[in-house]
């Protein structure tokens, strides 16, 4: 279990994100693969772009304000930083950031049809933090995550899905926070997806790595978040492109 202090700074995430979420709208996806690539109105645009270069694969990040990059410059959110690492590693992936601030798992389920219209080869799913902040029953959140992954699999059976471990704040009590923590490995085991470590590992609870709200990483912290994701994601991307399968540090591969 992570220390209580790690969770405390997440307590006001919903309040801090709600206004931004309204501005993001229903889709909330933007292409970040190349400097000359404009924001997308739909993941379909990414599919059309990829069709012109069959060697390029698509990596879709779905998430909350932590994925959207609330409070950061457009090129500083961790999916954009992961794109930089992808390019440096000469891997053939273009990243689309579909983070929406303030979103719960039920909200994601409601907009999933729109997201599934695009083409993608790997999906990174970061969801659930706002469920915990609102005290939504863990069983309901868990069912939503399973259904989201199941729908992705039905529409895109060849896509690899990666679930990010999230944590609940302690104000709901130990029973809730323990159940919340355990829901993610349980969902990963049931659905056979890869589980990544806690997104904010090494960042949460450290003022120097967070913005003034104490909840969202600043530019320095975001680089650590990107490193967390990249250590676990890089081996999977290499496997998808036909490289030697390996296990990323901290990642739990599909059974």
Residues acting as catalytic residues: 65, 213, 216
The string of DSSP codes covering 129-191 is HHHHHTT--HHHHHHHHHHHHHHHHHH-TT-EEEEE-----GGG-HHHHHHHHHHHHHHHHHH
Residue with tokens 């303030």: 102
d(CA 123, CA 150): 13
- HSE toward the beta carbon, residue 116, CA cutoff 13 A: 18
**Residue 100 DSSP one-character state:** -
Beta strands across the sheet bearing 194-196: 30-31, 93-99, 57-63, 122-125, 160-164, 194-196
**Whole-angstrom Cα distance, residue 219 to residue 28?**
21
Rg, C-alpha atoms of the chain:
17
């Amino acid at each position: 279990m992570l220390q209580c202090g790690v969770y405390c700074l997440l307590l006001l995430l919903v309040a801090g994100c709600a206004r931004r979420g309204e501005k993001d709208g229903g889709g909330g996806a933007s292409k970040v693969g190349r400097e000359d690539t404009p924001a997308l109105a739909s993941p379909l645009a990414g599919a059309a772009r990829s069709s012109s270069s069959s060697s390029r694969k698509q990596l879709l990040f779905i998430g909350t304000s932590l994925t959207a990059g609330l409070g950061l410059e457009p090129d500083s959110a961790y999916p954009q930083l992961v794109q930089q690492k992808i390019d440096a590693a000469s891997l053939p992936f273009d990243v689309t950031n579909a983070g929406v601030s303030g979103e719960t798992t039920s909200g994601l389920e409601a907009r999933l049809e729109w997201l599934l219209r695009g083409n993608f080869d790997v999906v990174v799913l970061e969801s659930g933090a706002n469920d915990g902040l609102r005290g939504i029953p863990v069983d309901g959140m868990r069912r939503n995550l399973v259904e989201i992954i199941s729908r992705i699999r039905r529409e895109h059976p060849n896509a690899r899905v990666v679930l990010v471990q999230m944590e609940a704040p302690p104000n709901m009590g130990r029973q809730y926070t323990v159940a919340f923590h355990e829901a993610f490995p349980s969902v990963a085991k049931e659905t056979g997806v890869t589980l990544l470590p806690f997104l904010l590992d090494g960042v949460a609870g450290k003022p120097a790595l967070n913005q003034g709200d104490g909840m969202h990483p600043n530019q320095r912290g975001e680089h650590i978040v990107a490193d967390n994701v990249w250590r676990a994601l890089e081996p999977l991307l290499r496997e998808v492109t036909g490289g030697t399968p390996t296990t990323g540090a901290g990642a739990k591969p599909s059974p």
